[in-house]
Chain A
Amino acid sequence: MNAQIVVDIALGLILVGLAAQVALGRHLFRSIVFYVAFGLAMAVIWARLGAADLALADAAIGAGLTGALMMVAFRRLVGIDPEQAQAQMTRHSHVAVAVAALTAGLVATVGLAALTMARAPESAGMQVLARLEETGLGNPVTGVLLVFRGFDTLIEMAVLLTAFVGSRVMTQRSRLNVTTISGFELPLVRTLVAVILPLAVLIAMHLLWIGADQPGGAFQAGAVLAGSGVLLLLTGTLLPAPRSNAMARLALVAGVAALSLLVLVPLSQGRPPLAFLGKGSLLFAEAAMMVSVAVSLTLLFAGAPALKAGRQ
């Protein structure tokens, strides 16, 4: 128990230290790199807390993809005006320090008070666990996402689609950006792609398949695929395409469409919306969500409406 608390304190200090580097660092690019490290430390803390689903998601999405999106946006700014892109523009103010300290104190007070409060005997989580067997799923988080709070997940996919459409509207007129790294044509890099890509697809399918019973699922699998999409863009295997096509559009709306079906099909049978249709329907919805998450995030990174094959 004593060793455990030492590890916890060390993890907490690392996390706060990285957050301080992100928030107070003088260099924007440095802050972005520290943000990626912060995401990875967060993933370690999720693992320590026993939230393996979140560890997978935060390592892939929170650290990997958010960091990649920030870096590519930063590179776009530097491409337009390197001087202004890195302008410091931070103003030191005592009021801000005081407000931040007060907020932190408030959050700590509320959090600690909530920790010491008497717990309700019957929490939502216990009800989920009690009724999980009806769904045939072994992973309660997947159960909550797809069965008990399926509407939330539908709206979530809609938010992802809306964010993509909004980004397209914003960048519609600008020309396509180069996303390839220097040296992408080297044989070494080709070998990397040839090894990583099949493995990443395998890992994504594995995560999707075991998501029903173990940590994993559509978001984690989609994030792994989006990560390989970013790799393919960086190495020029895939290139941004100027015009959208039917495949890209279908992939973008697949998640929303599949979840809408989960809502509508029971209604047509005279049952309440989102009534449980069986495990197969959940796997179908998860596969569609995986495709949507992967394609949306890859296209957001590319800043393009579709992708085309690059060099072989």
Chain B
Amino acid sequence: MSGEVVFVLAAAAIFGLGVHGLLTAGHIMRKLLALNLMLSAVFLLLIVVPARIDGLPDPVPQALVLTGIVIAVSTTAFALALMVRLFRRQGHAAIHPDVDPRMLGHVTGRTSAGPQEEHDRGSGSR
């Protein structure tokens, strides 16, 4: 087993985690985090899989990934601006068509019962 195999497996696991997060998360910011994880997994594959030249990664995929990193931060920033706007309009940050805001209150009530949840909530709710 070589280092490449380890990193391919890691990329696959991260991609799977990203897919899971994207499918189950209701909060848009969580979906964005999951998408960014998937992007990182793709970047890792792009660098690890091509043959190395003189012990260094192939420069062409390196340049592609560098471009990808900048594109990822641009699109994330745009998506975050969209999310803030949506939040202002509809009062919550979900885009599931089947999520009812009244039910969100219920879900929140249930999850905020944990002690850590209370601890991290911050000054806003108190």
* A/B touching: CB–CB < 8 A: yes
Instruction: Give me the interface of A with B, judged by CB distance under 8 Å.
Output: 4-5, 8-9, 11-13, 15-16, 19-20, 22-24, 26-32, 35, 38-39, 42, 45-46, 48-51, 53-54, 57-58, 61-62, 65-66, 69-70, 73-74, 76-93, 95-97, 99-101, 103-105, 107-108, 111-112, 114-115, 119, 123-126, 128-129, 140-141, 143-145, 148-149, 152-153, 156, 159-160, 162-164, 166-167, 170-171, 174, 219, 293, 296-297, 300, 303
Neighbouring A residues of B40 by C-beta, 8 Å? 19, 38-39, 42, 62
Would you list 27 pairs from A and B whose C-beta atoms are within 8 A, ordered by A residue? A20-B17, A22-B34, A26-B117, A28-B27, A42-B44, A50-B55, A62-B69, A66-B73, A74-B29, A87-B27, A89-B26, A89-B93, A90-B25, A90-B26, A99-B23, A100-B20, A104-B19, A123-B58, A125-B53, A125-B58, A125-B59, A126-B53, A128-B60, A140-B62, A145-B67, A152-B64, A174-B85
A103 to B11, CA, bound (A): 11
Q: Do residues A123 and B122 form an inter-chain contact, with CB atoms below 8 A? A: no
Q: Do residues B7 and A12 form an inter-chain contact, with CB atoms below 8 A? A: yes
Residues facing A in B87-110 (CB within 8 A) are 87-88, 91-94, 96, 99, 104-105, 107-108
Q: Do residues B77 and A22 form an inter-chain contact, with CB atoms below 8 A? A: no
- Per-residue 0/1 for B72-87: is the Cβ within 8 Å of any A Cβ (1 yes, 0 no)? 1111111011111101
**Taking CB as reference atom, which chain A residue is nearest B34?**
A23
Neighbouring B residues of A83 by C-beta, 8 Å? 105, 108, 125
Chain B, interface SS category: helix
**Which one, B18, B33, B121, contacts A31 given CB within 8 A?**
B33
**Taking CB as reference atom, which chain B residue is nearest A300?**
B77
Q: Do residues A45 and B7 form an inter-chain contact, with CB atoms below 8 A? A: yes
Q: Do residues A171 and B84 form an inter-chain contact, with CB atoms below 8 A? A: yes
- Tally of B interface residues using CB under 8 Å: 95
Q: Do residues A24 and B21 form an inter-chain contact, with CB atoms below 8 A? A: yes
Chain B min CB distance to A57 (Å)? 5
- Per-residue 0/1 for B17-46: is the Cβ within 8 Å of any A Cβ (1 yes, 0 no)? 111110111110110111011001101110
Given the known interface contacts A8-B7, A123-B50, A170-B84, the answer about A90 and B16 at a Cβ–Cβ threshold of 8 Å is no
